[in-house]
Amino acid sequence: MPSNIVLVTGVGGELGGRLLARLGNNPELERVIGVDTSPPGKDIQRRMGHAEFVRADIRNPLIAKIIGSARVDTVVHASTTCHPAGPGRRMAIKEVNVIGTMRLLAACQRAPLVRKLVVKSTAAVYGAGPRSPAVFTEESELIPASTNGYAKDAVEMEGYVRGLSRRRPDITVTTARFVNIIGPEVDTVLARYFSLPVVPTVLGYDARLQLLHSSDALAVLEAATLADQPGVFNVAADGVLTLSQAIRRAGRVELPVPRAMMPSVGKVLRGANLVDFSSDQVRLLNYGRVVDNTRLKRTFGFTPRWTTRDAFDDFVHGRGLRALVDGDRIARLADNVLAAAATGQAARR
């Protein structure tokens, strides 16, 4: 059955906000409600159509009243965060990821009219390590890279989603495991990483990266909202780029760093408010991660328009990244990063 009244969480974010605008201009939907603790950007508000924004925190039981009183039949949970672009408060993000999801799913379980749930998850649930398979499928074991990172939140969240499916088998549940999203208009951890003039990498490793263009990510969420697409799907573009290839295509300068120094480099970048270089992210840049998107194409019926290479090139072009030619400036930046990292490493001994 087609969706009629849709509630979207996380509309203060870029992907959730764009989805709200897209659905708000769909005449076949009777009502579209976006919830978040902060409103969508002004550009999104101008393009929302008949969509509504309600300031609400999904960690608050009030979300159940909103779903019930509005007679919502479809819930799109787009507020989950795997890798925040910039430094953020870990506990606050974990509360939204875990506690917020628990509250939202409890509200869905008690709402008899809810019959569809779309969840934005992440391929980071598979982890990244020296023993990881070359290609992950939807049946691969979920082993997050760390025991307390954002990917661990996603594993917990998916566990709650499976619990809801058992308790309410009448609800169609779609779980979309997105690889890293990139594009000229989205602010993600990889977008910030590849915008650094000097890009730190793990010495001796050249990880394989698989990306997804933000427009394809939006199209998948919209399709799952408008039509029943039950199941778990890896959402990724075709093809891969090695980390060194991506750095060259962005015109950046690679700075190979010994693996033991990477946590210190990450602290330097976080301290400078440049990028959130979490332990999960370090392992991704160390070992890489590639997923199989066959089920997305054959069962879901969606083939990404952009390949990994094309998506990355569109990001580079849209951000206006240019090759760096000032060798002296690059050398100074590299020296500063390494010196700060060495100081931090020595302080921990």
Q: Where are the domains of the chain?
A: 5-181+212-235
Q: Residue 219, Cβ neighbours under 10 Å: how many?
A: 17
| Close Cβ partners of 327 (under 8 Å, ≥ 6 residues apart) | none
Q: CA-to-CA distance for 123 and 97, rounded, in angstroms?
A: 15
**Residue-wise pLDDT tens for the chain (349 aa)?**
678 999 999 999 999 999 999 999 999 999 999 999 999 999 999 999 999 999 999 999 999 999 999 999 999 999 987 665 555 555 667 777 889 999 999 999 999 999 999 999 999 999 999 999 999 999 999 987 666 677 888 999 999 999 999 999 999 999 999 999 999 988 888 999 999 988 999 999 999 999 999 999 999 999 999 999 999 999 999 999 999 999 999 999 999 988 888 878 877 777 666 777 777 888 888 999 999 999 999 999 999 999 999 999 999 999 988 766 554 555 566 556 556 666 666 665 6
Q: CA-to-CA distance for 140 and 255, rounded, in angstroms?
A: 33
Sign of the dihedral through C-alpha 94, 100, 103, 109: negative
Q: Which backbone phi and psi does 4 adopt, to 5 degrees?
A: -130, -50
The pLDDT value given to residue 344:
63
The residues that bridge with 231 in the sheet, in sequence order, are 174
The two structure tokens encoding residue 217: 């990510």
- The CA-atom distances, in angstroms, between 86 and each of 81, 145, 187, 263, 304 are 12, 19, 9, 16, 27
The two structure tokens encoding residue 101: 């999801």
The pLDDT value given to residue 139:
97
pTM of the model: 0.89
Q: Which backbone phi and psi does 347 adopt, to 5 degrees?
A: -65, -25
Q: CA-to-CA distance for 35 and 20, rounded, in angstroms?
A: 10
- The CA-atom distances, in angstroms, between 163 and each of 171, 173, 210 are 12, 11, 30
The pLDDT value given to residue 327:
47
Angle, helices 101-110/62-69, rounded to nearest 10 degrees? 40
Q: Give the CATH number of domain 5-181+212-235; options: 3.40.50.720, 3.30.1370.10, 3.60.60.10, 2.70.150.10.
A: 3.40.50.720
Nearest alpha-carbon partner for 252 in 199, 204, 319, 320? 199
Q: Write the secondary structure of the chain as one string of H (helix), E (strand) and C (coil).
A: CCCCEEEEECCCCHHHHHHHHHHHCCCCCCEEEEEECCCCCHHHHHCCCCCEEEECCCCCCHHHHHHHHCCCCEEEECCCCCCCCCCCCHHHHHHHHHHHHHHHHHHHHHCCCCCEEEEEEEHHHHCCCCCCCCCECCCCCCCCCCCCCHHHHHHHHHHHHHHHHHHCCCCEEEEEEECEEECCCCCCHHHHHHHCCEEEEECCCCCEECEEEHHHHHHHHHHHHHCCCCEEEEECCCCCEEHHHHHHHCCCEEEEECHHHHHHHHHHHHHCCCCCCCHHHHHHHHHCECECCHHHHHHHCCCCCCCHHHHHHHHHHHHCCCCCCCHHHHHHHHHHHHHHHHHHHHHHC
